[in-house]
Structure 1
Amino acid sequence: MPYPSKLSSEQILDSAEVLLESQGPEALTMRSLAEALQVRPSSLYRHFQSRETLLRALGDRATLALHNELRQATQGQEARPALLCAVTTYLNYARTHPHLYALMLVENDDLTPQELAESPGKQLWNTFLELIGAVSGHPDDTDHTVAFWTFLHGFVSLERTGAFGKSGPRGGLTVGVEALIGYMENAAKQSVRQS
């Protein structure tokens, strides 16, 4: 059975994103989305099996958006400035789109190994791996990539919950980023000396 021509998956995702961004995750239900699109809820299920499937699709879309912003912002830059630019881009995305950012981190155990390798999350990971490998001198530098991403995500999470209090994080972000990058650069120098 063909899907109604007036409704596409992209239209559904566009409206879902608007609802999510403007009213938060609790407001995004299949019924509220159908009302916003002026269709019956059953029309949505032809494209997305459940609300969870829809949220995963929004998370993938957000991950791709952040991935593309990072690629564009860091293109053509030297290693250190590119990574610093990636930090700014990442934090701006997380601050500007907090609900979409939260969906990026939803676990999806249903992916096959092939789907996982081609997923938006893997693409985002590979971008960070590339940026960090350029600084540390190790193209497949999983350790530093995990440490760096953990720091960024932890910062975003603490900032979002207000854990820094009224004074804010002060220079903590810069101290942490500079310490991690400095450590990576030292690792690159040691690698050069040993070879």
Structure 2
Amino acid sequence: MPYPAKLSAEPILDAAQQLLETEGLDALSMRSLAQRLGVRPSSLYRHFESREVLLRALGDRAALALRDALQAAALGLEPRPALYAAAQTYLSYARTHPHIYALLLTKGDELPPEQLALSAGKKLWETLLALVGALSGHPDDTDHTVAFWTFLHGFASLERSGTFGKSGPKGGLEVGLESILGHMEAAKG
């Protein structure tokens, strides 16, 4: 195989994401990725020291993509409609990118505080916190943000697993969102 003179991290991540999204996590190995890129596996290790580091980079990429999608969905909307739009966008992302979404919430090695503050996951969290805080009136409303994210993740997980069955969730999403958003508004008091 030729020496990959212009191989860089971004094309590796692009190919890894495509492989992950089309074939799933088990199909993503350094060897399969190298084959897809037409390079030797050792070439990949110049950019990502291990599969775990590559997966963490893909998870970071997913967090930033979801953050950007949430911000775009909520742009220019009042707080309650913004959270509805964010919820729909979140669930749409989880549905259309199930494998990369699974990486998004995989806990990796603990980051030192200075790296955690700049992490992609923290940026996603801050976006959710800002959206929730705009409705509740409390900029650091961790409790409601955790409840909102937990509800969305739980819904996405149940939907993905088929737990709702053929009849679907029967309005459960709307009932849950109304309850959580109503509680946020009541906290504004």
Give the 5 Å matches for 1:21-170: 21-170=21-170
Amino acid aligned to 1:173? L
Partner of 1:174: 174
Answer yes or no: is the 8 Å Cα contact 2:136–2:187 preserved in 1.
Answer: yes
Q: Deviations for 1:112-144, whole angstroms, at most 9, x for unmatched residues?
A: 101100101000100110000111111110000
Q: Deviations for 1:1-24, whole angstroms, at most 9, x for unmatched residues?
A: xx9532010010000011001111
Q: Distance in 2 between matches of 1:85 and 1:100?
A: 21
Q: What secondary structure does 2:49 align onto?
A: coil
CA apart distance, 1:110: 3.8
**Cα RMSD over matched residues?**
1.1
List gaps (5 residues or longer) in structure 2.
Answer: none
Q: Distance in 2 between matches of 1:160 and 1:72?
A: 24
CA apart distance, 1:73: 1.4
Which shows bigger deviation, 20-29 or 4-13? 4-13
Q: Distance in 2 between matches of 1:86 and 1:133?
A: 14
Q: Does 1:8 align with 2:8?
A: yes
Answer yes or no: is the 8 Å Cα contact 2:12–2:44 preserved in 1.
Answer: yes
Runs of 4+ in structure 1 displaced over 3 angstroms?
none
Q: Deviations for 1:81-117, whole angstroms, at most 9, x for unmatched residues?
A: 1111000110010000000000001112241101100
Q: What secondary structure does 2:107 align onto?
A: coil
Q: Distance in 2 between matches of 1:6 and 1:141?
A: 46
Percent identity between the two aligned chains: 67
TM-score normalised to the size of structure 1? 0.93
List gaps (5 residues or longer) in structure 1.
Answer: 191-195
Q: What secondary structure does 1:109 align onto?
A: coil
Partner of 1:193: none
